[in-house]
Amino acid sequence: GGNTLCLANTHIFWDPEYSDVKLWQTHLLLQELERVVRNRKNIPLIFCGDFNSMPSEAVVELLKSEKVSETTKPNDPCNILPPVQSITHSLGLISAYEHVTGNEPRFTNYTGHYVGTLDYIWVSRDSVLPVSTLLIPNEKTLRGTDDTPLPNTRFPSDHLALCVEVEISPTNAQAQTLSMNQYQMQ
């Protein structure tokens, strides 16, 4: 019915030396999500997880702009990636945090050796409207009374929880189907 939603979560490979693997994993996952979403009349999609990629990297560029430029395509020593012009999708995703706050969080990972944004919530821009997001605690709050990076006694993970409140509306294809069904029933 009209209450179908695709919710996908992922954990992309972590090692910064293997940006090609991260892009390849993301590309394959996006291809499968496209198949699932399209086969179900363009159902709304929420795609979240630990992408282990900073906002300036190819994985985020692909998610955001539906393609990867030659300048951000990572080194690919084992030739696992298809040609850059084939690394695309048409899911029409927006970042929930960027939509609500104007930027990605300053950090979603806060350890002794790395502080930065690696985690994201992406949504279908045509059918999922991000309304509000969970605030990311400031550094003083994160470090707590024992003044240590994550994980610590207050925050048990090195990643911070992301949360978004959304309004979901039917996509154009779903609205047409609903309209046709209503018309046929009269």
What contacts 24+ positions apart, CB below 8 Å, involve 140-145?
142/110
- CA–CA separation, 43 vs 36, rounded Å? 9
Q: Over the range 76-107, which residues count as b (16 or more CB within 10 Å of their CB) and which as e?
A: eeeeebeebeebbbebbbbbbbbbbeeebbeb
Sheet containing 119-124: order of strands: 6-11, 45-50, 119-124, 93-95
Given 15, 20, 50, 76, the catalytic residue: 50
pLDDT digits (tens), the chain, 186 positions: 458 999 999 999 999 999 999 999 999 999 999 999 999 999 999 999 999 999 999 999 999 999 999 999 999 999 999 999 999 999 999 999 999 999 999 999 999 999 999 999 999 999 999 999 999 999 999 998 889 999 999 999 999 999 999 999 875 555 444 444 444 443
50 is catalytic: yes
pTM assigned to the model: 0.89
Q: What is the number of H-type helices and E-type strands within the chain?
A: 5, 8
Please report how many Cα atoms fall inside a 13 Å half-sphere around the Cα of residue 121, on the Cβ side. 24
Retrieve residue 57's tokens. Answer: 């990297």
Token pair 């069904």: residue: 181
